[in-house]
Chains A and B, each alone.
Chain A
Amino acid sequence: MDEYEQFKTTYFAECAELLGDVEVQLSSLSDGSQDPEVLHAIFRAVHSIKAGAGAFKFTQLAAFSHEFEALLDRMRDGRIAVTEQGVNLLFKASDILSAMIEAAESKTQQSEDFGKEILDEISLIVTGKLAPFQTIKNSDDNQDSQVNQESAPDEKLTYQITFAPKAQLFKHANEPLLIIRELKSLGDLTSIPILKNLPSLAKMDGEEAYLAWNFELISNVRLDEVEEVFEFVTEDCDLEIKTVSDNSEPEDEIIEKTSVATQSSDPANQTAKSPVTAAKVTSIRVDLERLDRLVNMVGELVITQSMLSQQTNDLPSEQFPHMVRGLEELALHTRELQESVMSIRMQPVKSVFSRMPRLVRELSAKLNKKVNLTTIGENTEVDKTVIEEISDPITHMIRNSLDHGLEGTEERIELGKPDTGNVTLSAEHRAGRIVITISDDGRGINRQAVMKRARERGLIAETATPSDDEIDNMIFAPGFSTAEKVTDVSGRGVGMDVVRRNIQALGGRVSIQSTPGKGSRFTMTLPLTLAVMDGMIVQAGGDKYVIPIPNIVESLRPAKSSLKRLPTGQSLVHIRGHYVPLCSLHRVFNINGAITDPAEALVVLVESEEFGTTGIVVDELIGQQQVVIKSLESNYKPVPGISAATILGNGKVAPILDIEAIYRISQQELRNSPVPDDSDHSDVSENVQDSLASKEAATLAAQNAEIPTPSIG
């Protein structure tokens, strides 16, 4: 078992961050930025990657990043000019680095020659043998070996060291003998003890320090390595290290009671001078596990607090005014605390958005189309849990735009459009959710083709007349694809239906609007976090369930007269001129003791892109509250119809309903076993029956989509 796995995980996570940063910086550079900080940032990132690669013995990666770093070093201090060629080389090098890291992470072998071309090119530039970019300064070789801390000087240096331990050194159990041994291991050591402080045996105090040494060390190690020998004892001794080198004047380095700094005092050396604690710390890196634990604990606090509130609901508030007020305040504070804690995990979508320019660049090259990508709102924040999930959908939708939406260059010119296609990716907060749109100025959806395909696939009846909007959104229907052949670009077997399914699974929605000839726009909304949710607690047969509030339209107790029934057994409720199909929770879940007659029950109208609107029949509403989402699958397994679970104020588990699945299951149930007529709502009249039967299939959904939706109170 490789026992460094845990550290590798941290390392790879760091690499992902660093590479993302490199990407952003390279973009700035290629856009012409003159800011010197850009190159410094890229240097630091590659430097860190190199360090870790060395620690974990990823030799290929270490070697490559070493050269890459050397190149960056020379570019940042001006020895090599930053030209377009140079930047392109940096891009390529960064790709190779990324691929090597991925290979290391997935433990796949790469050929020894992988990246060799780029590596060679870099080496040649670094060693000055190849000069495609102009070198600005002539580099003094001697100065280089002192200035560039990364290359060990080959010449041997002489260090003169005076070491005088103090008594407190022993109190820390440091052992001079061991320290001296380590010093000896660096090179040739001559030591001269200083005995002047040594008293006679009678006067000697066992706890005191009397001995000191003068050392002369001849070695080719760097100064900071010599200093490192004394790293633990700098405060507990008098220490002097002088470097005497052969070429230049001796440099004095005096270290007294200060923490060891790894910088030479050579004033000409600007690049290596990086103060250890420079800027004020404005951010802190936190182990994700700790943060998750904190979020969980706050979640538990919310549950406990609501449990308390519930318990005291029945108390007459006049008798315990202080307690009641106290609890109200507690509720407020708890909510604030939760919002605060959740906000810690919020991250800007930038990390996902920053990958898109590269994607567009590559795709447009492959498709031979000119594309311009504009990004808006990349600082919009979402919870970490959501960030990870949006990359795929955004990628697919951009691919779709480029592949199917945008016309080729010639076609665009013919149409009088600018030859470069425009794709805009934007993110913003709206109504407590994040809204991400991807729009293009391409050809829009070919409604004829979509209708034809929909009819072929049996998705709509022959006589159906869906609206334009409905036609456009049919691309999300299962099994739908207008592409005659699956193109390499947006193919790979992932259709828009899978994209929508995945977004729905996160509690989100996706839709498309299109204007033929002008373009299309994908709109995706997602909750800000996957960890908590606003839920409506409902009861059926004595058990409680949670319906996600974002899906709820309204709830009602239907009058008997508004309830209809189809021959298939499908119940409907008549609302504001439309018929909405009902799903009985008790039938879907085989619940005993639930109210089966919708006229006696409560109907919660929910909507979803998949089926429009449906009514879920439950016994009653219990109340609305924020729920912490808990996984069922971590210890059990997925349950159809249930997306996750939560823990209510009374400590009991309540399943969170997956309304799309419930609709599907209830439709399935009807097909399998017709419902016995145990209610006495009126049978469907002839006219209604005819008109409904013929349209029943998918147009019911289409009708439902038009139901005016009042806002939830």
Chain B
Amino acid sequence: MSKKILAVDDSKTMRDMVSFTLKGAGYDVLEAADGLLALDALVSQSVDLVITDINMPNMDGISLVKALRENPSFSSTPILVLTTESDDSKKNEGRDAGATGWIVKPFEPEKLLKVVQKVCG
């Protein structure tokens, strides 16, 4: 059975890009536009990986990571945060909140796949 990945980003373009790349490699991809919708989606299903942007309305990525880690059902779900090049601090913030790793955007598709492989298989 293929792995399920939840892509969270308020930019449809980004969600499309992540989705496109991952589906092409055989993953199932769900999408949500902000942290709240992501949590909403996770009420009814579980995923093998969450990839989230940091800056989003309603609930940002860092808050989402924290919320997921506080929930025992998701304490061992790998989470990747999407950061921009100049935002080194966000990387660390993400890690401190409990994220598994990060991807810098704009990302090369191969790099995304490699990182996804590394954290969720």
Chain A residues with CB under 8 Å of chain B are 3-7, 10-11, 54-55, 170-175, 178-179, 181-182, 229, 231-232, 235, 277, 281, 284-285
Contact = CB atoms under 8 A, between A and B. Distances in A.
B2 to A, nearest CB: 16
Interface of B: 13, 16-17, 20, 69, 75-79, 86, 88, 95, 98-102, 105-106, 108-109, 114, 117-121
21 contacts: A3-B16, A3-B17, A7-B17, A7-B105, A10-B106, A55-B106, A55-B108, A170-B76, A171-B69, A171-B98, A173-B75, A173-B100, A174-B78, A174-B100, A175-B78, A175-B119, A178-B117, A178-B120, A182-B114, A229-B118, A231-B101
Lowest 5 A-B CB distances belong to which pairs?
A: A232-B101, A7-B106, A55-B108, A6-B13, A173-B78
A235 B98 CA distance: 13
B13 A3 contact: yes
Given A3-B13, A3-B17, A173-B77, A179 B99 contact: no
Contacts of B117: 178, 181-182
B28 to A, nearest CB: 18
A349 B96 CA distance: 43
Nearest to A281: B86
Contacts of A171: 69, 75, 98
Contacts of B99: 172
A181 B120 CA distance: 11
Given A174-B100, A179-B118, A11 B106 contact: yes
Contacts of B20: 3
The interface residues of chain A, by DSSP majority, are classed as helix
A498 to B, nearest CB: 37
Nearest to B91: A259
A182 B76 contact: no
Nearest to A10: B106
A229 B101 CA distance: 11
Contacts of A281: 86
A181 B114 CA distance: 11
A232 B13 contact: no
A326 B114 CA distance: 58
A172 B13 contact: no
A182 B118 contact: yes
B100 A172 contact: yes
A170 B78 CA distance: 10
A277 B101 contact: no
B56 to A, nearest CB: 14
Given A6-B13, A178-B120, A172 B95 contact: yes
Given A170-B76, A178-B120, 5 more contacts: A3-B20, A173-B98, A173-B100, A174-B119, A232-B102
Contact of A4 (B17, B69, B79, B88): B17
Contacts of A4: 17
Given A3-B13, A6-B13, A10-B106, A235 B95 contact: yes
A172 B106 contact: no
B86 to A, nearest CB: 6
A235 B100 CA distance: 12
Contacts of B119: 173-175, 178, 232
A174 B108 contact: no
A173 B17 contact: no
A420 B77 CA distance: 72
Contact of A174 (B13, B101, B106): B101
A179 B117 CA distance: 9
A373 B78 CA distance: 60
Nearest to B85: A285
B86 A178 contact: no
Residue of A10, A229, A232 contacting most chain B CB atoms (<10 Å) = A232
- Indicate the member of B69, B86, B108, B118 with the most A CB atoms within 10 Å: B118
B95 A173 contact: no
A232 B95 CA distance: 9
Contact of A284 (B77, B86, B101): B86
Contacts of A178: 117-121
Nearest to B74: A173
A235 B108 CA distance: 25
B94 to A, nearest CB: 10
A179 B100 CA distance: 12
A11 to B, nearest CB: 7
A463 to B, nearest CB: 65
Contacts of A231: 101
Contact of B76 (A6, A173, A235): A173
